[in-house]
Every structure is written in structure tokens, then in C-alpha cells.
Amino acid sequence: MNEPPAPRRAIFLDRDGTLIHDPGYLADPEGVVLLPGVADGLRALARAGFVFVIVTNQSGISRGRYTVADYDKVAARVVEELAVHGVELHAAYFCPYHPEGNTPPFNTDHPERKPLPGMWLRAAEEHGLELATSWSIGDGERDVVAGKRAGTRGILLAGGRDKWPLPVVGPYDADFVARDFREAVLFILRAEGQPLPDAPGAAYPEPTPA
């Protein structure tokens, strides 16, 4: 009898403000711009054995700022931009719901809307992901809270904030607060026992074989 495949470890990634520039309610694929350090960091994490899952709230759909079709065009461009840099996206989930929206049927709350962990749980079930050995990265507390509720470890990107977040010592606190995506990746590599670059800005090394 064949053994079932081993569960995958994933990096759950917020999209806007984490992977790409966030102009607010992005509806035009021409506005997709990868943030500094994202491509190099994702390649390093892929070499360390992780797959990538985007989990993004898209309340602009509920608010009537753009349509699901507009979202799909932007999402396709994100996949294209990552592929140009040698990064493969394993899956992407979005939540178009918001209780303050004005566009049925999306003008309601939903268990997949962050900070609830619905997108994580669905991804884990559909793709055989092991949440306890996975990580979540996002630029908002809701990203960390949803990831922690799902059972992953969480990193908050705080470089673009006006104020550095203060720890409140709770069960949904970030495991690490990073100044940028590169620092988040270095923290994960260190936690996973992988080698680190010798100097700031240096290329990520190949991982240590298990």
C-alpha cells in the first residue's frame, strides 16, 4: 500500500502591503508592483521546503469599488510577476465579504474574513497543509491573529507603520515583528535551522539538507 503524501509546510501570505504595493482597493493589474525583498525571500523559503498560499481580504468587492472579475485580473498578474522571478504560488484565497458593504451577496460577515481563520482552514483541508509547521506573514494584526487562530506561527511586518506595535502578551501575538519582508524571512530560516546570508543584502544561501 502506498504511503499518503506528507503534509506540506506553507507560508500563508497577506497580499496587499506584504507582497505588493498597496495603493488601496487595487483593481488594475497594471498597479501590481512586488515589494523589495519579496522575490528573493520567497525563493529562499521555497528552497527550504515551503509552499506559498495567499490569503487576502478584499472588502473592495463588498464596497462596490471593484468586481470579482477585477480581482481575478489582479490576482493573475500577481502570479505572473512572481513567476518572472522564479516563484510559484501554490494557492490563493480571497474573502470579498464585509458587513459594512453595499454589494449583495457580499455585504455580510463571513468566517473566512480575517481575523477569522477560515481561509487557512480551507487551504489546509484542500491542499494537505500542516498548520502547526507553517507560518503566516502580514502587515496587519488581523493577518497574525487569523494565522495564530489557525495554528500557524505568525510574523507581523511593521516597517510601514507610523508607530511600532507594542506586545500585549496574548495568545494571538506575533511570534516576531519584522521591519521588512527580508527580516521576516531571516527569522523563519533561523527558526528552521537554515543557513543565513553572511552580510546584510547578501544573497540567501542554499538550505542545509535535512
Cβ neighbours around 15 below 10 Å, total = 22
Report the length, in residues, of the chain: 210
> CB of 207 within 8 A of CB of 49?
yes
**Residue 190 per-residue DSSP state:** H
Known catalytic membership, residue 16: yes
First to last CA, the chain: 26
Selected catalytic residue, list 14, 40, 139, 143: 14
Share in percent of the chain as helix, strand, coil (round to 5): 30, 15, 50
**Residue 133 per-residue DSSP state:** G
Annotate 19-58 with b (16+ C-beta within 10 A) or e (fewer). Answer: bbebeeebbebeebebbeebbbbbbbbbebebbbbbbbbb
Catalytic residues: 14, 16
